[in-house]
Chains A and B, each alone.
Chain A
Amino acid sequence: DAKTTQPTSMDCAEGRAANLPCNHSTISGNEYVYWYRQIHSQGPQYIIHGLKNNETNEMASLIITEDRKSSTLILPHATLRDTAVYYCIVRVRVGFQKLVFGTGTRLLVSP
């Protein structure tokens, strides 16, 4: 599995966009980028995934660079409830899926 590198922590003002980066320079051609988040003391929650095209859903947008070596998760209008640890995970999509959670990025959204 490709390893990922994320900043330890980030701050964001409420209402502004939060841009969370992730480096995955050893990603393979069949590996997807997944994002999960974990709000304090709760189980992780799936946010979004992508292969090579940019993706958007009701929660966030995912921008993957053309060489696929890095990606950015964008929360367009961060709220206080978006304060959480965000995990970037790289994994093949099919078959048994073991998610390797690193330490993620702790995002603090402030008023």
Chain B
Amino acid sequence: NAGVTQTPKFRILKIGQSMTLQCAQDMNHNYMYWYRQDPGMGLKLIYYSVGAGITDKGEVPNGYNVSRSTTEDFPLRLELAAPSQTSVYFCASRDIGDTYEQYFGPGTRLTVT
């Protein structure tokens, strides 16, 4: 199993540009999450999904959108990028039965200038 994969690893955006961060998992997990981590801080939840077609907002959803058309994929869309969105973005997944462990991807480092 590849686990949780994220692309791209790094990206630089100009203010106002848009992009999609890709996340995929091959563990057939129902729950998927998007977090952001600012320098020196803990992770903050952006959006989550409990299954295909079902998504909901986390703590810091403004400026982001998500979709979950399949169990495997959970892309995060940034519209009109702003410098405040400069961060490292982590995707994670968890099985319904595996209630104690979230599996995290390697992260995408995004800079908005």
Contact = CB atoms under 8 A, between A and B. Distances in A.
Nearest to B88: A41
**Majority secondary structure of chain B interface residues (helix, strand, loop or mixed):** strand
Given A43-B106, A96-B50, A32 B100 contact: yes
Nearest to B91: A43
B24 interface: no
A96 B35 CA distance: 15
Contacts of B88: 41
Nearest to A102: B42
A97 B102 CA distance: 9
Interface of A: 32, 34, 41-46, 49, 87, 93-94, 96-104
18 contacts: A34-B100, A42-B104, A42-B106, A42-B107, A43-B104, A44-B102, A45-B104, A46-B100, A46-B103, A87-B42, A96-B48, A97-B102, A99-B102, A101-B35, A101-B43, A101-B44, A103-B42, A104-B42
B31 interface: yes
Interface in B77-110: 88, 90, 92, 94, 99-107, 109
B101 to A, nearest CB: 4
B94 to A, nearest CB: 7
| 8 nearest A-B residue pairs (beta carbon) | A43-B104, A101-B42, A46-B101, A101-B43, A49-B100, A43-B90, A102-B42, A93-B99
A91 to B, nearest CB: 9
Interface of B: 4, 31, 35, 40-45, 48, 50, 58, 88, 90, 92, 94, 99-107, 109
A58 to B, nearest CB: 14
A100 B33 CA distance: 12
A66 B101 CA distance: 24
Contacts of A101: 35, 42-44
Contacts of A34: 100
Contacts of A102: 42
Nearest to A45: B104
Given A96-B31, A97-B94, A98-B48, A46 B102 contact: yes
